[in-house]
Amino acid sequence: MNKSLNEKLLMYETALHNAELVNAIKLSMENSGYNEAKLDEGKILLKEVKERCNIVTDFEKNLRIASLAYKKVKQQVNLTYNRHRAITKVAMDTNKPALKILRIDKNPPKQFASWLENVSVFYQTIAKDNGYQKKLDQFNLYKDEIEKSMATLEKLKKSYESYYKIKGLKEDSTKNRNEIMDKLSHWMNHFYIIARLELKDRPQLLESLHKTVKS
């Protein structure tokens, strides 16, 4: 059964601690060069992995917050846009070119980037064209509401960018953590090989190093 990262770190920490605390293990390991200075190599790697784990945990927390913020504002934009889109289609019913220019002549695309572009074009075009705005005024869709929707759209873009920024940083920090964890695991593998050799006549002491011994 594969051990979780936290289980491995606890196992390694216990082994390194007891390799110094239990005198019989300490003396045996020193016979093969695993003195205080050598054990410090493992402890330094262990400390680095823990620090990287904390960084990853922070990014995971921030990513969850960013994801919720992004989804919330996207839902807000989508609901408002759908309402404005429906009103505009009625207002421009006989103006087929306008429907095309505003990109509401077809169903909204499902791919986010394309959808976002369509929504941006819709609001930007209305904001720049007094003729479109006058028609919408008849349906109580006024300029201030269009401008408010444009501001919310900018908020959506920023939340989207923030989410993917944090996502990239989290993935990079996870990669760094895993690389150091691999170094620690490699170092500990050598440590356990030496421990088994040095403690072959006292195998029960391996329990102190978090290694199960068969009865």
Residue range 162-194, pLDDT digits in tens? 999 999 999 999 999 999 999 999 999 999 999
How much is the pLDDT for 42? Answer: 97
How much is the pLDDT for 1? Answer: 38
Q: Does residue 203 have a pLDDT over 50?
A: yes
Which of 87, 99, 105 lies closest to 141, judged by CA? 87
**Residue 204 corresponds to which tokens in the numbers above?**
């029960």
Q: What percentage of the chain reaches a pLDDT higher than 90? A: 92
How much is the pLDDT for 94? Answer: 86
Residues 187/41, Cβ–Cβ less than 8 Å:
yes
Distance, in Å, from the CA atom of 89 to the CA atom of 206, rounded to the nearest integer, reads 76
How much is the pLDDT for 214? Answer: 63
Helices (H) and strands (E) in the chain, counts: 7, 0
